[in-house]
Amino acid sequence: MNYRHAYHAGNFADVVKHAVLARIVEYLKRKDKAFRVIDTHAGIGLYDLSSEEAQKTGEWREGIGRLIDANLEDETRNLLNPLLEAVHAVNPEGELLRYPGSPRVTRHLLRREDRLTAIELHPADAEVLKAGFSGDYQTRVIALDGWLALGAHLPPKEKRGLVLIDPPFEKEGEFERIVAGLKKAYQRWPGGIYAVWYPIKDHKAVASFRRLLAESGIADIVDIRLELRPPSPEPRLDGTGMIVVNPPYVLEEEMSRLLPALAAILGDNGQGHAFLERLTGEDGRAA
């Protein structure tokens, strides 16, 4: 439990992850029926970019800092507006001082009838998260191992929604754990949308992960990746990925327009590349 997202909040990986999250939530809002978002590794919800941790790495400057300052084309800005509005909402003074984690981004976008379940295992972080949502009847914060939520909390009573899985990747075998967890969740709730974040650091492990997903039997899987640079000779976070199961029908088109713009803004010296690949079809077979 040594991982602390405070060091990395607002970095390029957060920007991509939360842009995808926001587009999925916006899609769910197209129908009148209520939905639920289950965030299995929620963190503390809100991050101080002036903190010692954030200043020590400065990663946010190359992520949300670049995005806020970028000259965006209208189409790109329209797709990013839900995320940017969530960022502005926690910075009412105008200066970029805070960054919203996934539960805050989600909560900002929900309608009155929608619900959020935010799950966090670390005791201190769970308490901070609870305090941040105190009195909010639309949000339930649970101190629990997020992997357990893929069993006991599925399907939600709304029968519509998204499960966001954003593990810290501090243990060996996390990729295999994700595949096993997704299989379990998919059996319980095959109609749900699942979005899973993963780091692109060990490129061989990522390739193996993608093969396992393609062979999992889970239908309708899309892989969204943004790489800042070619593979580094030494272990380094070269990129970020999101696996989406049952993606909204508009997501692939939206990502095909948004990802190249993000790659241009966030990539190292023009080396950024975006990838959008289907791993399985609607029949569950490898694409």
- Helix (H) / strand (E) containing 178: helix 174-188
Is residue 129 within 8 Å of residue 120, measured between CB atoms?
A: yes
Of the residues 166, 220, 223, 238, which is catalytic?
Answer: 166
* Residues facing residue 225 across a β-bridge: 241, 275
Beta strand spans in 201-272 (E): 221-227, 239-245
Closest listed residue to residue 172, CA positions, set 202, 213, 215? 202
* Residues facing residue 195 across a β-bridge: 164, 244
Active site residue 74: no
List Cα–Cα distances, 54 to 58, 77, 89, 156, 267, in angstroms. 6, 26, 20, 35, 20
The secondary structure of 77-114 as a DSSP string is HHHHHHHHHHHHHT-TTSS--EEE-HHHHHHHH--TT-
Catalytic residue numbers read 166
